[in-house]
Amino acid sequence: MSGGSSHEAVTAADRFAAAHAALKADTSVQFTLQPAPKPPAPPQWLLDFFHWLGQTLRPVGRLLAWISSFMPDAPYARIFLWTILVAAAAMLVWVIYLRLREGVWRLPRRRRATSAVVETEEEAWAPDAAPVRAWLREADLMAEQGRYAEAVHHLLFRSIEDIAKRRPRLVRPALTSRELAGADAIPGPARELFSGIARLVERSLFGGRPVNAEDWSSARAAYADFTLPGTWRA
């Protein structure tokens, strides 16, 4: 009995060895795993960019480290102080943006109050009738002589003076009429009327195109509407 069992065990072992050898000989089965290929190296221009960025921001990092050295070691205190600094920097950037866009220094949180003060001032301000009539008489005299371009230019100067009275911080010597026509600090209706007068002057001075009687009438009507207080409250 024991001899038969031993013979069967040997036969089974031989069959297993033969099956294992056949399996290893099968080329469709992979027993040795190859290492994963290395990821491609980033392009040199990207490495150069990050190197340049690191060099450029290094002074900023030193500045932040210097500021952080004055802060307490408490984590929550540091978070609070950094939040205040970031908010102050954001407000400074916004104020500079408003200065570039509108030509005035103004804090965002005071916008509503400032607008209310400006509206009150505009309601109280109105051009003196006598000077306006004098300006128009001078311009009308030029137009009667056929000097339409000079008459329109005359109205443009007067319009700029009116803007300076309503927006004292907006009008500066280096500011052109085209820049004034695009200033958001001037209400839309007034800005549109002023732009019409400025376009006629630019067309005459820089475009060499003559200004005729119809152009003059249009500019005179635009200036008359430009001086109305309601135009500046729109």
Domain identity same for 74 and 164: no
Residue 62 near residue 72, CB atoms below 8 Å: no
Does the residue 40 lie in any domain? Answer: no
Mean pLDDT of the chain: 75
Instruction: Please state the rounded mean pLDDT for residues 82-87.
Output: 86
Looking at the structure of the chain, the number of domains it has is 2
Element (H or E) spanning 227, and its range?
none
Domain identity same for 154 and 209: yes
Does the residue 36 lie in any domain? Answer: no
Does the residue 156 lie in any domain? Answer: yes
**DSSP-assigned letter for residue 110:** G
Instruction: Please state the rounded mean pLDDT for residues 24-39.
Output: 72
**Could you tell me which of 154, 162, 148 has the C-alpha nearest to residue 204?**
148
- Give pTM, 2 decimals: 0.43
Domain identity same for 145 and 228: yes
Domain identity same for 134 and 94: no
- Tell me the pLDDT band of 140, cut-offs 50, 70 and 90: confident
Task: Give the ranges where the chain is alpha helix by DSSP (H).
Answer: 2-25, 44-68, 75-102, 111-124, 129-144, 148-166, 177-181, 188-205, 213-226, 229-232
Does the residue 113 lie in any domain? Answer: no
**Could you tell me which of 94, 234, 104 has the C-alpha nearest to residue 175?**
104
Instruction: Please state the rounded mean pLDDT for residues 140-146.
Output: 86
Instruction: Please state the rounded mean pLDDT for residues 193-207.
Output: 82
Domain that holds residue 169: 123-232
Domain identity same for 91 and 154: no
pLDDT digits (tens, 9 = 90+) for 105-124: 666 554 444 444 444 444 44
